[in-house]
Structure 1
Amino acid sequence: MSDQREVAIVRWPGQAPFAQDGPAELLAAYHLQTQAEKGEACAGVDELPDRYRVEITDPHAVFADDVVLLALSGDTAVGCVVVTARVDGPSEVKRLWTDPEFRGRGIASRLVRAALAQAAESGVSLVRLSVWKWRAAAIALYERLGFTVTESWDERDGLVCMERAV
């Protein structure tokens, strides 16, 4: 088993040519878990709502204008995060996921810090995110990294909206 020193954070697809599927498997796990937590469990990717399924089947197209960061242990993607590219206005951090076997090693923190650095490099001054209210560990992580709860911009019940200056 790898430790956190052996996990590299890279931009996909550019710095991870061998990880052609990139975040697909991680996104599948993320969306299937989220649907189950919402009480809308799916038996597989084919049952996911179209807007989520396409992220898994064609991440190149869906995230073409965004930055996808992967945490790699060797040639294996063990974590991911997406940073939306905004010309004017805040960037958004979304789809943060770490393979359950690799949790507790600081990978999610490293991914979020890399996302914040990416946003800063693009000249963005504010990063926001939304997280389901039952994901207490994720909310605590975001708070440790300087995010604060803000007024919701999303109409879905159960979401906590957060933001942080960069």
Structure 2
Amino acid sequence: MTDQHAVVVARRPGRALSAQDGLASLLAAYHVQTQAEKGEAVAGVDGLPDRYRSEIADPQAAFVDDVVLLAMSGDTAVGCLVVTAPVDGRTEVKRLWTDPAFRGLGVASSLVSTALVHAAESGLSAVRLSVWKWRTGAIALYERLGFTATESWDARDQLVCMERAV
């Protein structure tokens, strides 16, 4: 008997993404939810700011220099995380999202852990991220995985910036 919730994390260079990989729908859910949490609810993707709509419309172009991690349950993408191209010996992770039906199963932990392994294998010294302060579950996850709050590099209000050495 196979576990219907068994999830495997796959690394894909941004330039190798395809329309069939499921990333666009995960990004759409992420961005629509984030806008609602910011108090700027939108009815759908068309109501999102241009920079987010462009990620959803063409993830391959948006993340061409990055590595995208996809958590797959069979042929279905159930989670994602973008690992940006390195700058000054470190990388940034962003767009962590898990399909709500797969939450609580370790998908997000697996994605972040895979990003840390990727950074170490790439010879990087640190991984950083920013997270909205109201996402307390995500902050707790990052802290469990060794991230600590650091001085902000982003001027947007209500962001917590974190970093971890690899």
TM-score bracket for the superposition, by shorter chain length:
over 0.9
Distance between the aligned counterparts of 1:7 and 1:13, measured in 2? 19
CA contact (8 A) 1:12 1:22 kept: no
CA contact (8 A) 2:13 2:66 kept: no
| 1:1-166 superposed matches below 5 A | 2-3=4-5, 6-12=6-12, 20-166=20-166
CA contact (8 A) 2:9 2:111 kept: yes
Instruction: Say what the alpha-carbon RMSD is for the aligned residues.
Output: 1.8
CA contact (8 A) 1:26 1:79 kept: yes
Distance between the aligned counterparts of 2:94 and 2:17, measured in 1? 22
Matched residue type, 2:11: R
1:10 is paired with a residue whose SS is strand
Q: Which runs of 4+ in 1 moved over 3 A?
A: 16-19
Q: Per-residue CA shift, 1:110-165, capped at 9, x if unaligned?
A: 00000111111111111000000000000000000000000100000000000000
2:118 is paired with a residue whose SS is helix
CA contact (8 A) 1:19 1:76 kept: no
Distance between the aligned counterparts of 2:19 and 2:51, measured in 1? 23
1:164 is paired with a residue whose SS is strand
CA contact (8 A) 1:11 1:68 kept: yes
Distance between the aligned counterparts of 1:50 and 1:90, measured in 2? 27
Deviation at 1:10, TM superposition (A): 0.3
1:130 is paired with a residue whose SS is strand
CA contact (8 A) 1:13 1:20 kept: no
TM-score, normalised by the number of residues in structure 2 = 0.92
Distance between the aligned counterparts of 2:67 and 2:22, measured in 1? 12
Deviation at 1:90, TM superposition (A): 1.8
How many pairs align?
163
Matched residue type, 2:80: C
Distance between the aligned counterparts of 1:118 and 1:12, measured in 2? 11
Q: Per-residue CA shift, 1:67-94, capped at 9, x if unaligned?
A: 0000000000000000001142420010
Distance between the aligned counterparts of 1:100 and 1:162, measured in 2? 24
CA contact (8 A) 2:17 2:59 kept: no
Q: Which runs of 5+ in 1 are unaligned?
A: none
Tell me which moved more, 119-128 or 57-66.
Answer: 119-128
Report percent identity of matched pairs.
75
Deviation at 1:19, TM superposition (A): 6.9
TM-score, normalised by the number of residues in structure 1 = 0.92
